[in-house]
Chains A and B, each alone.
Chain A
Amino acid sequence: MNLKEPRSIRISGMGGQGNILMGLILAESLVSEGYWVVQSQHYGAQVRGGLSFCDVLYSEEVIDYPKAEAFDVLYIMNDIAFPHLTMIKNNGIVFYDSSYIKALPQTVSRITKKIVAIPASKLAYEELGNTNVANMIGLGAIAKNCEIVKLDTLIRVMKKRVNPRFFEIDEKALKIGYNYTNKKYEIKTNEKNGRGL
């Protein structure tokens, strides 16, 4: 029997940065591309400004264990989420919003070299005049650089989930993220990746 672990993505940031919406659109896009998906989010006494995160697990098969102990992909929106860096798998892929984060702790580079800095909030402000859409830029980047979902799918699903007032700006943001860099990092599916730190 081939025991495949689902692929796992965690999006971590400060409450209010839009990580749950990011995870939701990503999860629904994966469903529409035929995967089995489980999305869960940290829930608690969250307030704007506190640590908040959203996990997306996906697989070709039904997912029985709905959580992950280590992640293939981490998207770090703010340094408040640094504690989650210990949960990246060996050679996993780490994205971070370099508008707010000068540099990741050096220990991360011992676990993986696949690190993508994207100034999502800065791009959102400079190109679209609204930092709120930094999450859509990040989502576009994850989709492209890990080759997990098509841009068209993201745009279609986004339009099911957000207020029509934001269709245009969110679509632009997704495209900015999607076209930001051409780096391609494959999520290794069958390799039993050990836990990082």
Chain B
Amino acid sequence: MAEKVMVKGTEAIGEAAIRAGCRLYFGYPITPQSELTEYMSRRMPQVDGVFLQAESEVAAVNMLYGAASTGHRVMTSTSSPGYSLMQEGVSYIAGAELPVVFVNVVRGGPGLGDIQPAQSDYFQATKGGGHGDYRLVVYGPESLQEAVELTAKAFDVADKYRNPALILADGMLGQMMEPVEFPEFRDLSTLPDHSSWAMQGAKGREPHKITSFDINEYVLEQMNLRYQEKYKKIIENEQMWEEYKTDDADIIIVAYGTMGRIAKTIVNMAREKGVKAGLFRPITLWPYPYEALAKLADQAKLFFTVEMSMGQMVEDVKLAVNGKKTVEFYGRTGGVVPTPNEVLAKLMELI
């Protein structure tokens, strides 16, 4: 077993990406994820990779588009305002069906906001952000260990479906340090073969075309229907969630990421008071585990969603529960991380 090392969240994700076989990084520094960009600038030359600091996030995302067209594993990382700048390119990459891994270490918004942890980019991450009918596979890690595992997973899933994936972290996960066990380095010769579509030199064969464009509306509609077929498969195969003490629970707390791990403390505090609470923690935010959550609607009296936002994921909780039970919400925003005591106090008011 590998040794547990103490690392910062941003650096853990960077190292995990390298171990997953990523050798191309394009990015632009922004707090609270600048350490990831810095880490890649130091690490990429050591592994014969490429680090390129773009002149802006707009440039970075278009460099990703080009680099991903070659079939190599590529990534970028940014924080909220930077990810907003990238949205045009994210939409193009989704339309061109390119496997790219994005990391958004979310900070307080809207606008310039602040640099403290937040979960207020959930809508942008899971419901679009850019234009068009497209989806990204979105992962919401709760710990640095999970962030490491999901980073490797994101590359695999992106390759498997030729679709971009997003690690949705927050300033807390990005900046804190925690013990982590890293996986072994991926043998680069075992990475998926993309020679059937990638731009790798057309000598002796028909050229490949990678585009999100077709002027004929019927052809573009066919392209869209193909994307939707792919999304259907992702929904069928890629949902991830964790249930914590839900077996006998009649209060289901729903929370993800940093708020998800904090909710475990809240579950235990509530149980000390005799309240049978449990946690449902979505790990994939798209595809959202609607059916798994819906199953709990029979046993639960109340769903209680907690977020570091003014209420975004709560809409998916309501879609899952579908009016069968009451769905309540508590959130703090602007970079404030709710304390277990304040969330518990709110929960006790509700029951």
Does B associate with A?
yes
Q: A residues engaging B (CB < 8 A)?
A: 1, 3, 24, 27-28, 31, 36-41, 43-44, 64-67, 69
B→A interface (CB under 8 Å): 4-6, 31-32, 115, 171-172, 175-179, 258, 261-265, 268-269, 271-272, 337, 339-341
Q: Establish whether residues B172 and A40, one from each chain, have CB atoms under 8 Å apart when the complex forms.
A: yes
Q: How many A-B residue pairs have CB under 8 A?
A: 58
Chain B hits for A65, CB < 8 A: 261-262, 265, 339-340
Bound Cα distance A65, B268 (Å): 12
Chain B's interface: helix, strand, loop or mixed, by majority?
Answer: helix
B6 with A31: CB separation less than 8 A:
yes
Closest 5 CB pairs of A and B: A39-B177, A40-B176, A64-B264, A64-B265, A28-B6
Given contacts A37-B6, A69-B339, contact A31 B179 (CB under 8 A): yes
29 interchain pairs, CB-CB under 8 A: A1-B268, A1-B271, A3-B268, A24-B6, A24-B177, A27-B6, A27-B177, A28-B6, A31-B4, A36-B179, A37-B6, A37-B179, A38-B177, A39-B178, A40-B175, A40-B176, A40-B177, A41-B175, A43-B31, A43-B32, A43-B115, A43-B175, A44-B115, A64-B265, A65-B262, A65-B340, A66-B258, A66-B262, A69-B339
Contact A39 B268 (CB under 8 A): no
Q: Does B176 lie within 8 Å of A3, measured CB to CB?
A: no
Say yes or no: B178 contacts A38, CB within 8 Å: yes
- 18 other contacts beyond A31-B6, A40-B172, with CB at 8 A cut-off? A3-B269, A3-B272, A24-B177, A27-B6, A28-B6, A36-B179, A37-B177, A37-B179, A38-B177, A38-B178, A39-B177, A40-B176, A40-B177, A43-B175, A64-B262, A65-B339, A66-B176, A66-B258
In angstroms, how far is the closest chain B Cβ from the Cβ of A160?
Answer: 10
